[in-house]
Amino acid sequence: MLAASAITTLGDFELDVELYVTRGETLALAGPSGAGKTTMLRTIAGLVTPQTGTVVCGGETWLDTNADTNEPPERRAVGYVFQDYALFPHLSAWRNVAYGLPKGGSREVRRRLAHAHLKRFGLEQRAEAKPHTLSGGERQRVALARALARDPKALLLDEPLSALDARTRASATRELAVTLATLDVPTVLVTHDFTEAAQLADEIAVIDNGKVVQRGTADELAAQPRSAFVADFAGAVVLYGTARRKDQLTLVELPDGTTIASTDDASGPVAATLFPWEITIGAETDDDTSAQNRLNARVTSVTTIGNRTRVGLESHGQHLAAEITTASADRLTIAKGDRVTATWKAAATRLIPR
């Protein structure tokens, strides 16, 4: 098990994070840039020393500021994959991996072990290749092989997919997910992408402004966000207004005076959240709907990926995104600048007090 805590000043805010990860589990530290994610990762690795903190892994204490214990990075059994992979450009793939092996042993033994690690990632045939001749996905796998070569007690991944182009990222994500599922060590992954965290991690700790604001599985965070920030980060639509109870519904008055309904019980300032795929798009004159909620909106963007189309919308200063089938988008002939209606059911509207 890996347990770590850190309290330290970062610019104009304070990092105050405590986390734990069990063997074989992957925890994603996810959130916006500058929130303190990488600083926490570097604290575990020994590259940063917080004002107050502890790091304990596999029964070994690597950091305890109160006891004046602070093991240097080379004495912490961690595998670290940097954002840009940090491969030595003048060394071949196998020599990069060999660099991560424990010291000692003949050159031939180290070469054989390095080749074995590369074979695990399907790269044995690329053992003599220099980093600049490798694809982005291959460089990532070499960096991962090097990190695992030292038989670490914990694996740390800092934005491992950010250096890849969009075409490579999908396959690299699948390969990395398979690898992480086979590991028997605690893994901490840093990312600013909720989808990436959901694909790779068992649990996600959402961090903002130096604090973990919610931790749980991807499904839990998306279905039961504790704040508008978490809802927005998880990909939900977030609308702000003031709630009051009426009959069996809660009515939320938006800043422009428009009212939407929810089956949740709430009063006062709230954030109303719903998933993009719960929104139906129709012509502005279309009144044939049983949904309780209806907003007139202007299309700000249309993005098609495969058989799904995401439609960006703006309604009186509030921004929404609807996700519909590409067939539906084609039928409606939606284009940027069009006036449409966005409708959804009251039961789909979740309310979070502000």
Instruction: Tell me the pLDDT tens digit for each residue of 314-349.
Output: 998 889 999 999 998 889 898 999 999 999 999 999
Q: Do both 38 and 102 map to the same domain?
A: yes
φ/ψ of 44, rounded to 5, equals -60, -40
Task: Tell me, letter by letter, the H, E, C secondary structure of 217-231.
Answer: CHHHHHHCCCCHHHH
Q: Is the pLDDT of residue 286 over 80?
A: no
Q: Do both 246 and 129 map to the same domain?
A: no
Alpha-carbon distance 343 to 324, whole Å? 12
How many domains in the chain? 2
pLDDT of 175 reads 85
CA 134 vs. chain centroid, Å, equals 26
Q: Is the pLDDT of residue 285 over 80?
A: no
Q: Do both 212 and 254 map to the same domain?
A: no
Q: Do both 317 and 276 map to the same domain?
A: yes
Q: Do both 212 and 258 map to the same domain?
A: no
Per residue in 68-96, pLDDT tens? Answer: 999 999 999 999 999 889 999 999 999 99
Residue 47 is given by DSSP the state S
Three-class secondary structure of residue 42 per DSSP: helix
Alpha-carbon distance 250 to 351, whole Å? 9
Per residue in 224-236, pLDDT tens? Answer: 999 999 999 999 9
Structure-token pair, residue 28: 């994603």
Structure-token pair, residue 166: 């969009």
Q: Which residue's entry shows tokens 């990395």? A: 176
Give the mean model confidence (pLDDT) for residues 259-265.
95
